[in-house]
């Protein structure tokens, strides 16, 4: 029995010295296994005088209970630390990329284009696109501008030299998309066509050689100039707010009759020209095999870059293409 007295202390030391679960199993075998001192002692109980047996048995069981408890709490601690070191090793650090992230955003022009599309989609229009390189038929002739027509001079056209047989150019406005749409769709038609346009204009505070327009075309029965004025008014209110007014001024475009230019009011009381519009000329409808006796419509086209510079009161439209991040980041 005297051998057993220190056993609990020895087991405690040994189990703390075990640094892995595997080591601890060896400790367990050593102190509680078949060949352990405790088991041997139990077997030897029979050799004791009868009156000592009960006490000795009780003592052995107590020591056994102590050792079992020691080992099981050490086991829990080792398991915990093995798991946590495994988790730490396999863990993904999701905080690594936290902090200020410089993500950038859509360019002002793209934002405006998206918003314009949304406004017109809300009014029942669909969005269509056309090519940036056009033939004379689409850019001019079908739009009632034959080659002798002085109005061709108003569009400072950039030509592409591809040789015979056709005259090819970068489109000088988005109006050719009117023709492409009427050729491919039956009326009624309600479309807008945003896109890039090109002219030999030198860049200055209000002009760019490559700029953006958005074209609108409506072909239906019984459409009047009143519908056109009302549409432009609703668009201006939806895009700029209720306080901004619009007005139509008589003008001239070969592809519309009557034609007008439309302006919007500025906070200082002056007006800014945004675009042109009018009732689609009967010759244009006929060029697209649409009977002007049955169908009428209106068209409009305006500059998105002008609209953006008006909206954000930019002093110089060239800010939009310089792409200085310090400028762009503000919006």
Cβ at position 202, least distance to ligand FA5 in Å: 9
Cβ at position 136, least distance to ligand FA5 in Å: 15
Cα separation of 196 and 36, whole Å?
A: 91
Tokens of 190: 């309600």
Cβ at position 221, least distance to ligand FA5 in Å: 20
What 3-state DSSP class applies to 94? Answer: coil
CA 39, chain centre distance (Å): 73
Judged by CB under 6 A, which of 145, 276, 284, 296 binds ligand FA5? 276
Q: Should residue 257 be labelled a site residue for ligand FA5 when binding is judged by CB under 6 A?
A: no
Complex with ligand FA5: residue 8 or 193, whichever CB lies closer? 193
Cβ at position 156, least distance to ligand FA5 in Å: 8
Q: Should residue 254 be labelled a site residue for ligand FA5 when binding is judged by CB under 6 A?
A: no
Q: Is residue 238 packed enough to be buried (19+ CB in 10 Å), middle (13-18) or exposed (0-12)?
A: middle
Lay out the site mask for ligand FA5 across 44-63 (x = CB under 6 A, - = otherwise): --------------------
Q: Should residue 231 be labelled a site residue for ligand FA5 when binding is judged by CB under 6 A?
A: no
Residue 3: C-alpha distances to residues 7, 10, 16, 38 (Å): 7, 11, 21, 10
Cα separation of 73 and 76, whole Å?
A: 5
Tokens of 106: 């859509």
Cβ at position 300, least distance to ligand FA5 in Å: 5
Tokens of 274: 């945004």
Token pair 């919006």 is at which residue? 331
Q: Should residue 211 be labelled a site residue for ligand FA5 when binding is judged by CB under 6 A?
A: yes
- The residues pairing with 279 across neighbouring beta strands, listed in sequence order, are 298
Residues of this chain, 96-155, that bind ligand FA5 according to CB under 6 A = none
Cα separation of 205 and 317, whole Å?
A: 5
Q: Which stretch binds ligand FA5 (CB under 6 A): 27-35, 228-236, 241-249, 273-281?
A: 273-281
Complex with ligand FA5: residue 41 or 134, whichever CB lies closer? 134
Q: Which of 231, 156, 157, 152 is nearest to 191 (CA)?
A: 231
Q: Which stretch binds ligand FA5 (CB under 6 A): 67-75, 211-219, 234-242, 321-329?
A: 211-219
Judged by CB under 6 A, which of 7, 24, 128, 274 binds ligand FA5? 274
Pairing relationship of beta strands 126-127 and 168-170 according to DSSP bridges:
unpaired
Q: Which stretch binds ligand FA5 (CB under 6 A): 11-19, 200-208, 284-292, 320-328?
A: 200-208
Q: From the CB of residue 189, how many other CB atoms can be counted at a distance below 10 Å?
A: 20
Cβ at position 163, least distance to ligand FA5 in Å: 27
Q: Which stretch binds ligand FA5 (CB under 6 A): 6-14, 65-73, 116-124, 296-304?
A: 296-304
Complex with ligand FA5: residue 28 or 172, whichever CB lies closer? 172
- Give the number of C-alpha atoms closer than 13 A to the C-alpha of residue 38, restricted to the C-beta side: 24
Among all residues, whose Cβ is closest to ligand FA5? 303
C-alpha dihedral (255, 224, 235, 185), degrees to nearest 10: -60
Q: Which residues make up the interface to ligand FA5 (CB under 6 A)?
A: 173, 175, 199, 201, 207-208, 211, 213, 215, 253, 256, 273-278, 299-303, 305-306
């Amino acid at each position: 029995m005297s051998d057993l007295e220190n056993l609990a202390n020895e087991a405690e030391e040994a189990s703390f010295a075990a640094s892995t679960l595997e080591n601890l199993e060896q400790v367990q075998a050593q102190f509680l296994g078949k060949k352990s001192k405790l088991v041997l002692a139990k077997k030897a109980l029979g050799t004791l005088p009868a009156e000592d047996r009960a006490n000795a048995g009780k003592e052995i069981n107590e020591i056994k209970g102590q050792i079992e408890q020691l080992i099981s709490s050490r086991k829990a601690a080792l398991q915990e630390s093995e798991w946590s070191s495994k988790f730490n090793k396999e863990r993904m650090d999701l905080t690594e990329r936290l902090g200020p992230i410089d993500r950038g955003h859509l360019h002002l022009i793209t934002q405006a284009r998206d918003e314009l599309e949304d406004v017109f989609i809300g009014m029942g229009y669909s969005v269509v696109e056309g090519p940036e390189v056009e033939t004379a038929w689409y850019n001019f002739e079908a739009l009632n501008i034959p080659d002798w027509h002085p109005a061709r001079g108003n569009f400072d056209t950039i030509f592409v030299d591809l040789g015979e047989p056709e005259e090819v150019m970068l489109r000088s406005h988005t109006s050719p998309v009117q023709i492409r749409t009427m050729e491919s769709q039956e009326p009624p038609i309600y479309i807008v066509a945003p896109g890039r346009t090109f002219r030999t204009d030198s860049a200055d505070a209000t002009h760019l050689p490559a700029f953006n327009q958005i074209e609108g075309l409506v072909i239906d029965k019984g459409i009047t100039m009143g519908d056109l004025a009302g549409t432009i008014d609703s668009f201006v209110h939806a895009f700029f707010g209720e306080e901004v007014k619009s007005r139509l001024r008589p003008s001239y475009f070969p592809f519309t009759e009557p034609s007008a230019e439309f302006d919007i009011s500025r906070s200082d009381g002056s007006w800014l020209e945004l675009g042109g519009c009018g009732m689609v000329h009967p010759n244009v409808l006929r060029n697209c095999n649409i009977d002007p006796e049955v169908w009428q419509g209106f068209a409009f086209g305006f500059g998105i870059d002008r609209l953006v510079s008006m909206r954000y009161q930019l002093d110089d439209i060239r800010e939009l293409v310089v792409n200085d991040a310090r400028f762009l980041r503000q919006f």
